[in-house]
Amino acid sequence: MSLPTERIKKAVEKAREVSPARNFEQSFDLVINLRELDMNRPDNRVNIRFQLPRGIGARKVLVFASGDLALRSRRAGADYVIEPAELDQLAGDKKAAKKRLANYDMFVAEAPMMPTVGRVAGPILGPRGKMPTPVPPQAPIDNIIDRERRTIVLRSRDKPFVHCIVGREGMSDDDVTQNIETVISNMTAATKRGFANIKSMYLKLTMGGSVKLY
């Protein structure tokens, strides 16, 4: 089972209608409530990463890298690059490390740096489900940064629901619709009984009212 494209698009339109104008660009947020899953069992919990075909607007990517990869990361448009010397400094100042990592959405790390990255950033990013994606020093970092900007993570932990951003107010209805379809497809593939494990779905803009999708 899946939801008709037209039904999803109408929900996107309705979400715009029931959201007052704001002086900032709101995001489209999707909430999927689950049923008939014992979330106390780790094998029933959702924890998946995938890319949205239309992206979700501006997302900040931080790269942990050295040498050539650090240089190429900056040229590729990484929002910030932490090299080994700065990482060593942050290792001795947890407050500074937390502040440095706070404003980034996705993280990439050069594989040889992962042991130190894990020690310094792991306690901060792990609970947020944002541990860096390891890449080799020769990695095509421009493609990876683009991919990470389109990546979202769905995590239920021990709660029977997931929520995620599926677009921005400035995106077209068609683009937001395609992203929602991708989320639903990946979500149903991650649960034991597929769509049968979905209880309900709601869509809303950041400061707007909820619209029931299912």
DSSP category for residue 126: G
Query: Which pLDDT value is given to residue 129?
Result: 84
> To 5 degrees, how large is the angle CA 13–CA 7–CA 14?
20
Largest Cα separation within the chain, whole Å, is 54
Name which of 146, 60, 66, 74 is nearest 110 in CA terms: 66
pLDDT per position as a tens digit, 90-115? 999 999 999 999 999 999 999 999 99
What pLDDT is attached to residue 162?
Answer: 96
Burial letters 72-96, b for 16+ CB under 10 A, else e? bbeebebbbbbbbeebeebeeeeee
The pLDDT value recorded for residue 205 is 97
Question: What residue type is 43 in one-letter code?
Answer: D
> What percentage of the chain exceeds 90 in pLDDT?
93
Strands (E), the chain: 27-34, 47-51, 61-64, 80-82, 106-110, 133-135, 151-155, 161-168, 198-205, 211-212
Is the pLDDT confidence value at 1 over 80?
A: no
Domains defined along the chain, listed by start: 5-56+150-212 (3.30.190.20), 61-149 (3.40.50.790)
pLDDT, position 2: 80
User: For residue range 47-96, what is the model confidence (pLDDT) as tens digits?
Assistant: 999 999 999 877 899 999 999 999 999 999 999 999 999 999 999 999 99
Strand partners, 32: 162, 201
Region 17-46: mean pLDDT is: 94
